[in-house]
Structure 1
Amino acid sequence: MDFSVKPVLTGEKTVLRPFTEEDVPTMARILADPEVIRLTGSSDAAFDADRLRAWYGSRNDRPDRLDLGIVDRASGELVGEAVLNDWDEPNRSCNFRILIGPGGRDRGLGTEAVRLMLGHAFEGLGLHRVSLHVQDRNPRARRAYEKAGFVAEGVVRQTVWQAGEWLDEVVMSVLAPEWAALNATAR
């Protein structure tokens, strides 16, 4: 198993699909959004057009990770990205991350995108564990993760220096048996 196959995952509200070169200007705007910068701990200075074109242009060739664009089905607009990375093949685990730009917030798109990616991770790829780190000051993301079955494992203290203060991150994970049980009761 690897991440060389880049699927299209379709839900009621979102479609997750491989990136294209045409996505670069939209992702540049999303990555420059002040809330995205604040909640990811990134800097907009790192996202010049050439670097983004190289980054998103190489995502579909990577067998060690899965980067998919999140498209709002209602508008057809690219609103963010969902990523499985840091693949640990022997232990059948990986990291998950997601970001949603201003055009996709507060409508359940992120929650559905998390569920679609986890469904693919567990049911399609046979992973056992998916984990993530989320800033403790991001309750919207934590709620979306918890709805999808993620459980808080602990706090990693003072991992991000931003706007003159140290920020903590919460480590969360979901295991294949937990995902299966959650989805068995949802059906």
Structure 2
Amino acid sequence: MTDPVPAPARPDFRSKPTLSGPRVLLRPVTADDVPALLPMFHDPEASRLTGNHAGGGDAPDEARLREWYATRGDQDDRLDLAVVDRATGHVVGEVVLNVWDPGNESCNFRICLVPGTYGQGLGTEATRLIVGHGFEKLGLHRVSLEVYAFNPRARRAYEKVGFVAEGVLRDALLWEGERVDATVMSVLAPEWSRHRGMPALP
């Protein structure tokens, strides 16, 4: 009779870190960050890129958002961090590890930036910081995401950090009458240990 395999240690999601890179600082998000984050909830392009049908005019108001963000520090199964542009000190978005799957030691990743901050490399660095934390401190084995076909810029940013395309979810999103595919991407702990979020790209 073999000894039972011990259950994997539960990641410490309750500890909310501050992670620092050359251009961005990630820190615990709070209700006081809501005014800075509001534009990303009301921007039609941000809603489209994230497939958020509740965005734009149907976005939650500031009071509801404050209630939501006030509880982020208490969560023990996800990590929500604000993205701060170190050059200005302004909050420019958020990054999240969520959908924790304890049986498979995996998480989902998502990022959203406020309008006017795209294309500056802030998202790429923020992604590298939080995904690295997921592998190196939380002990995750797999981090995954989905990116829509009309968002090649985001896909390229994810590839720069080491995410690999796994397959396509056909017609995953219905947006303004058009059905859009989503690509599933992931990065695994053994891959991260080799490239640390800086893979060689073609």
User: Same fold by TM-score, threshold 0.5 exceeded?
Assistant: yes
* 2:23 maps to 1:13: yes
Q: Label 1:185 to 1:10 Cα distance change in 2 as closer, same or farther (>3 A).
A: closer
Question: How many Å separate the matches in 2 of 1:8 and 1:185?
Answer: 21
Cα RMSD (Å) of the superposition? 1.4
- What percentage of residue pairs aligned between the two structures are identical? 58
Letter matched to residue 142 of structure 1: R
Unaligned stretches of 5+ in structure 1? none
Task: Write the mapping of 1:11-160 to structure 2, written as runs, cut at 5 A.
Answer: 11-42=21-52, 43-44=55-56, 45-160=58-173
Unmatched segments (≥5 aa) in structure 2:
1-10
User: 1:36/1:185 Cα in 2 relative to 1: closer, same or farther (>3 Å)?
Assistant: closer
User: Which moved further from structure 2: 144-153 or 97-106?
Assistant: 97-106
Name the residue aligned to 2:5. Answer: none
Moved over 3 A (4+): none
Q: How many residues of Structure 1 are paired with residues of Structure 2 in the alignment? A: 186
CA-CA distance at 1:56 after TM superposition: 0.9
Task: Go from structure 1 to structure 2 and tell me whether the alpha carbon gap of 1:155 and 1:184 turns closer, same or farther (over 3 Å shift).
Answer: closer
In terms of fraction of residues, the more helix-rich structure is 1
CA apart distance, 1:90: 2.3
Partner Cα separation in structure 1 for residue 43 and residue 179 of structure 2: 21
CA distance in 1, matches of 2:75, 2:156: 30
User: Which digits, 9 at most, give the CA deviation of each residue in 1:65-89, with x for residues without a partner?
Assistant: 0010101000111111100000011
Q: Could you tell me how far apart the structure 2 residues matched to 1:184 and 1:97 are?
A: 16
Q: Secondary structure at the match of 2:174?
A: strand
CA contact 1:72–1:104 (8 Å) conserved in 2? no
- Give the 5 Å matches for 1:164-179: 164-179=177-192
Cα deviation for residue 104 of structure 1 reads: 2.1
Residues 7-16 or 20-29, more deviating: 20-29
Find the structure with the greater CA-based Rg. Answer: 2
Per-residue deviation, 1:136:
1.2
- Displacement of 1:185 in angstroms is 7.4
Aligned equivalents of 2:95, 2:135: Cα separation in 1: 15
Secondary structure class of the residue paired with 2:196? helix
Residue 128 of structure 1 deviates from its aligned partner by 0.5
- Using a 3 Å threshold, how does the CA distance of structure 1 residues 141 and 101 change in structure 2: closer, same or farther? same
Q: Deviations for 1:41-85, whole angstroms, at most 9, x for unmatched residues?
A: 112313211221111111111101001010100011111110000
Moved more, 21-30 or 64-73: 21-30
Q: Give the alignment's TM-score, normalised by structure 2.
A: 0.88
Distance 2:82 2:116 in 1: 13
- Give, as a single letter, the amino acid of the residue that structure 1 aligns with 2:105: R
Secondary structure of 2:135's match? Answer: helix
